[in-house]
Structure 1
Amino acid sequence: MYAGKIASPDSVIENRTFDEIAVGEKASLSRTVTQQDIDLFAVVSGDVNPAHMDPVYAKTDIFHRVIAHGMLGAGLISNVLGTKLPGPGTIYLGQELRFLRPVDIGDTITATLTVTEKHPEKGDLVLDCNCSNQSGVEVISGTAHVRAPKEKVRVSRVELPEVRLTRHARFNALLTETAGQEPLPTAVAHPCDANALGAAVEAANAGLIAPILVGPRAKILKAAEDAKLDISSFRLVDAPHSDAAAAAAVALVRSGEATLLMKGSLHTDEFLHAVLAPGSGLCTARRLSHVYLMDVPGYPRPLLLTDAAVNISPDLEQKRDIIQNAIDLAHVMGIASPKVAILSAVETVSPQLRSTLDAAALCKMADRGQITGGFVDGPLAFDNAVSPAAAAEKGIVSKVAGQADILVVPDLEAGNMLAKQLTFLAGADAAGVVLGARVPIILTSRADAERTRMASCAVAVLIARSQAAIPQKAIGV
């Protein structure tokens, strides 16, 4: 007996006791196979057989496709036993299954279980198991042996947890795109700790860069020895301290000996001071700005975030350059007409919020051709920029709202907090690069994962190769 509000049939699970079950009784469930099903199995089992994880390989290996996807049918059978027949309280004793045909992503599999035997001495059942696809073709057959519950159980259905997998697919594709070509000579300023030196070694091992290590020779060698890093094949330029190392690294780029510039274990301000110094040869008419290329789980496209590292409180002219730098990078990344959302706390212009006034002015600058190559809209609150539902709820009609490719923050504090929230709470990957100079500048952090450091180098390599192919359209020139 159950008191209180009667639950809907879909919200409860009720079992069938041994005495209630008759031979010939059936139950079934259906499920459409997704890539996430395969990914979750790989995560739980640690099985990274390419028959599971590589769609191209799986298409050429029928036997392994049967094994790889058979586990989904087995899981569906277990689901029927645990929730329908017999249901809660069932003890799974064993199974004999035969995986007959491949199951592909997109197939809808129906598992049907039929009671064939009852053994009253212990309350055991034998069930025939059949899994068929949407065409009625049998893909799995076999039997299951269970001990049925003796007491009636009726419980609330537990809601499945929402699972979000981070595949790093976009960053992996980025690394693939930049692999197999001549590594670019890269001046690394003051790589005197394990993180900075390790980033250079990782990128070199991946064939992205050919590091030129610039800094105090003794410190660099000691850092390599402590971290057990082999730097014997790298050119080493001795410089007495971090200031001198930054200046010498810039000089290598100015002379053409290096194509890229990379920050080591010195402060960002000190590093960029050398880039901006009179006579550095790296300055252009464009303002330096930092752009994060972010791969955010659940967001359907790459997301560029700017500026979260260089410009503290940019004015209108500086924001124009920040936007143009990001648009130019989006073009390099293959986004022909990027959608630029200028962020604020609200989506309406308010004299009390400078960021909304700047956003309105920047949109008009884009209308007048002072910003080119993308669609610019603002002010937009963060939710209106990335969520079509939020934009629709507010009645915002825009080419940008709900589908932004580029997020432009009001100031460095907002950008830094947003980038770190996406990284540490949403599981996003974030690769950073500084634009606006004559060469891309790789700016990594001590907290960056290896994948992030590698992706930052890969982005810089793509930009440099783009500049070399089309000099007149080089970023920052």
Structure 2
Amino acid sequence: MAVFANTPFDKLEIGMQAESPRLCIADDLYVFAHASGNLNPMHLPKEDGDGDGKPEAIAPSIWIASLISAVLGNQLPGPGTLYKSQTLNFVGRAHAGDELIAKVKLVEKGDDRQATFDTWVEHKNGTRVVEGQAKVVAPATSQSFTADDVPGLTVQRHMHFDRLIELAEPLPPILTAVVCPEGKSSLGGALLGYEHTLITPILIGDQAKIEAAAQALGANISGLQIEHVPDHDAAAARGVALVHEGRAKAVMKGHLHTDKLLKHIVKSDGGLRMGRRLSHIFVMDVPGLDHLLLVTDAAINIYPDLKTKVDIVQNAIDLAHSLGMDEPKVGILSAVEVVNPAIQSTLDAAILSKMADRGQIKGGLVDGPLAMDNAIDLDAAMTKGIKSLVAGRAEILIAPNMETGNMLAKQLTFIAHAEAGGVVMGARCPVILNSRADDDKARLASCAVAALHAARIGI
């Protein structure tokens, strides 16, 4: 809790100085862009503003100058100070990642509590970025201020998805059977993956509708293979067949109902099952969370029994390995964090945890039952006295049933502003299962997840 105390006008002495260090981070540049409306790409961390092929991430000069006001308002003279004027001369530049120091020095006292300060901001090595002079009205009486009710900010950036895409782009693109990409969003997602060299799409569906969608997007698909299969059921079957023929290494859902595609994937004869139960996994980038979050199963297994849950957990752990998690922490969710014989999901969770301890589930740390709060929040886990390597740190959340998983994932998406990519695991190849409501980032991330998993298992 920050406490700020001032120096009233009658106690100010010429020569008094104060300073405050500040690390300039990328989020500062985004916050300034939103607050000011200045969207100059020279200041946006990932944009190339001058066409030289790399982002500049130059800190806006006015943002740097604003650091002076923090010293005047917080330290010298401190709380109660009001600006009258500020001159500025910008003599250098700063970038995201630079550590800056804002400094002020009292040089004159005048009438009506007016105080004049030399002001400047410099790099750690003393090189100045901005300098000038401020005239302020200093406070008349001593006072202090406790900053305990200032709301925090979470910048809605999806850095975890950006990292996945950066990891996947150097990999060879995976041949992907895209089933019924007959709408702008479904075709656009496949083309976006193609542009980022994540997938090489084979477009299966009604050729006229696919071409019309491409025209609506302003996209040229003349270099892509199109298989004209106007019936959705037949197109789904053809997508699965391409995997068996060795012509595709992944399947991607287009503009058709999920059950039509899954019907052909799960068939015992001619499908893509490999002995393990198929399960859907949301890979989620949640603002404010310092790691990816996997949520399963939200789309396939309606009321999974214990045997199915074993496969759901193992599928999620296997995918987490492909995404760079060496020993993912798996939280088995229920309404409560204690075993209650009246709540079946708590019994399943306890059994799954013990199965992992005995090596029947491999590659991750598994614990449960855990309620949602103590699965992801360490303070909540500590408050409830839960001693666990998973509680408060879960990277994978196993929902007790599809309804719970689906609601959880959509709450994170539409309330917490998370991005969610989706894949189906347990098949011979990754199955990219996007929702019609997914935006471009989610579709691109799904392609990246599929590419990373395909690379790890060597298909």
Q: In the aligned structure 2, how far is the partner of 1:378 from the partner of 1:267?
A: 34
Q: Matches of 1:367 and 1:147 in 2, distance apart?
A: 65
Match of 1:221, SS?
helix
Q: Deviations over 1:388-423 (max 9, x none)?
A: 211111111112111112110111111111111212
Deviation of residue 278 (structure 1)?
3.7
Task: Look up the equivalent residue of 2:286 and give its one-letter code.
Answer: V
CA deviation digits over 1:186-205, x for unaligned, max 9? 11111111111111111111
Query: Normalising by the residue count of structure 1, what TM-score does the alignment of the two structures yield?
Result: 0.83
Q: After superposition, where does 1:330-345 map in structure 2 within 5 Å? A: 330-345=320-335
The aligned runs of 1:198-277 (5 Å cut-off) are 198-277=188-267
| Residue 348 of structure 2 is aligned to residue 348 of structure 1 | no
Pairwise CA RMSD of aligned residues? 3.4
Q: Where does residue 170 of structure 1 map in the other structure?
A: 160
Q: Secondary structure at the match of 1:397?
A: coil
Q: Which residue of 2 aligns with 1:58?
A: none
User: Does the CA contact (< 8 Å) of 2:16 and 2:106 recur in 1?
Assistant: yes
| Other structure's SS at 2:150 match | coil
CA distance in 1, matches of 2:14, 2:138: 18
Structure-2 change in CA distance of 1:236 and 1:316 (3 Å) = same
Q: 1:417 aligns with which of 377, 394, 407?
A: 407
Alignment partner for residue 187 of structure 2, among 185, 188, 197? 197
- 1:40 aligned to 2:41? no
Say if 2:101 is the partner of 1:109. Answer: yes
Task: Deviation per CA, 1:290-318: give whole Å up to 9, x if none.
Answer: 11111222222221111111111111111
Residue 146 in 1 paired to residue 128 in 2? no
Q: How does 1:419-438 map to 2 (within 5 A)?
A: 419-438=409-428
| CA gap 1:425/1:306 in 2 versus in 1, 3 angstroms | same
| Alignment-derived partner of residue 382 in structure 1 | 372
Alignment CA distance shift 1:105-1:265 (3 Å) = closer
Offset of residue 214 of structure 1: 0.8
Separation in 2 of the partners of 1:22 and 1:340? Answer: 58
Distance in 1, Cα, partners of 2:127 & 2:174: 55
Q: Does 1:79 align with 2:70?
A: yes
Q: 1:360 aligns with which of 310, 325, 350?
A: 350
Distance 1:417 1:29, change over 3 A: farther
Counterpart secondary structure, 1:218: helix
- Counterpart in the other structure of 2:382: 392
The residue number in structure 1 matching 2:53 is: none
Change (3 A) 1:182 1:100: closer
Measured against aligned partners, the alpha-carbon deviations of 1:296-343 in whole angstroms (never above 9, x if no partner) come to 222222211111111111111110100000011111112121111100
Q: 1:30 deviation in Å? A: 1.9
Amino acid at match of 1:93: S
Unaligned runs of 5+ in 1: 1-8, 55-63, 470-477
Q: Which residue of 1 aligns with 2:45?
A: 53
Quote the residue 1:455 is aligned against. 445
Q: Which amino acid aligns with 1:76?
A: L
**Aligned to 1:270, what secondary structure does the other structure show?**
helix
Cα distance in 2 for partners of 1:47, 1:392 equals 45
Shift of 1:432: 1.0
2:136 and 2:192 mapped to 1: Cα distance?
Answer: 55
Percent identity, please: 41
Secondary structure of residue in 2 paired with 1:352: coil
The Cα of 1:465 is off from its aligned counterpart by: 1.6
Shift of residue 125, structure 1, vs aligned partner = 5.4
- Secondary structure of 1:46's match? coil
Deviation (angstroms), 1:174: 1.1
Query: In 2, are the aligned partners of 1:288 and 1:322 still within 8 Å (CA)?
Result: yes
> Which residue number in structure 2 is paired with residue 474 of structure 1?
none
Unaligned runs of 5+ in 2: 47-55
Q: Which amino acid aligns with 1:448?
A: D
Task: Give the SS at the match of 1:336.
Answer: coil
Change over 3 Å in CA distance of 1:77–1:226 after alignment to 2? closer
The 3-state SS of whatever aligns with 2:368 is strand
Distance across 1 between alignment mates of 2:40 and 2:173:
33
SS at match of 1:68: coil
Q: Shift in Å at residue 244 of structure 1? A: 0.9
Structure 1 CA distance, aligned partners of 2:68 and 2:326?
48
| Residue aligning to 1:305 | 295
**Matches of 2:171 and 2:404 in 1, distance apart?**
37
Question: Hey, what's the Cα distance between the residues in 2 that align with 1:203 and 1:102?
Answer: 35
Cα distance change of structure 1 residues 179 and 150 upon mapping to structure 2, 3 Å threshold: closer
Question: Partners in 2 of 1:72 and 1:291 — Cα distance?
Answer: 41
Aligned match of 1:28: 18
Contact map agreement 2:79 2:145 (CA 8 A) in 1: no
- Quote the Cα distance in structure 2 between the aligned partners of 1:85 and 1:194: 58
After TM superposition, the score normalised by the length of structure 2 is: 0.86
Q: Please say if residues 27 and 80 of structure 1, whose CA atoms lie closer than 8 Å, have aligned partners that are also in contact.
A: no
Q: Equivalents in 2 of 1:172, 1:276: separation in Å?
A: 32
Q: Which has the larger radius of gyration?
A: 1
